[in-house]
Chains A and B, each alone.
Chain A
């Protein structure tokens, strides 16, 4: 029993370490002044990794029940739909928003 607790606590501290490393990474990446899309991808990507660590280990989402996974999965899909739907409706020059733009090359 004591081993389990100690192991669990060790696990949390390892995750903490990883989160600190990733925080440094994301700050460091910002100094590289990457071009637009890459900067976004890196920043959001690292943030996703950090969020996943917090969710899986601190929030005990790893090994949780399907009854929790399904609503969260649905939420993720709808979140993406909202951002994509808004962006593609208003972003006049994004790929795929107009038939003619999508199929002409210049």
Chain B
């Protein structure tokens, strides 16, 4: 099939070496700096607050949104994380997840609303989302290092790339799913587009949007682990060192920590969606 040669590899490298880095390098550097301050602030907060306080807050949230059983599980999970000396790692992972999810939501929900209302935009955005979701994450981990260096920043960026699509898609779906007759009723009474959105569409879309946020958090967590390969601290790096030193016990210890964190986050956010 090779009728002609498509030098995508060379072109991309030339683009990155000759243009992206020299021209936009400074921009990315300062962006990286700002983001890093933000991430560090969150991480410091979580590591500064005593573990017991965070565990109790999480347990209370779990109790409120997911029931008594989940609250007990949260306490046991926290005790586990402490007992295997993974608390700090878990908090680092949690910080990256929270920061990335924050950006995913801030970008994803408005974008989802816009794509629900504008078909052209929907047609443009949809393939980009497909691209973000299916492109193997390692492919953008490499340029992330080039542009943002090692550490939390590229981790948050690549997590953002991976975790934003469900926020966009589910928001778009949620808005489209609001029954046509109540949208019509709102219009018939003379609602402006903004009133229609805020008073009718969003309130009726919240359960589905919350399901999207739940998915975003779950994807962010899985990506935050993979991002340990580009130097992101946290539970992922424990697993990674377990793998690289063929230390099965260490791998399992870190892996279980991730599972515990995932279950707690999942149940709390799911419950949040149901209560909303």
* Pairing of A with B: no
Chain A interfacial positions (CB closer than 8 Å to B): none
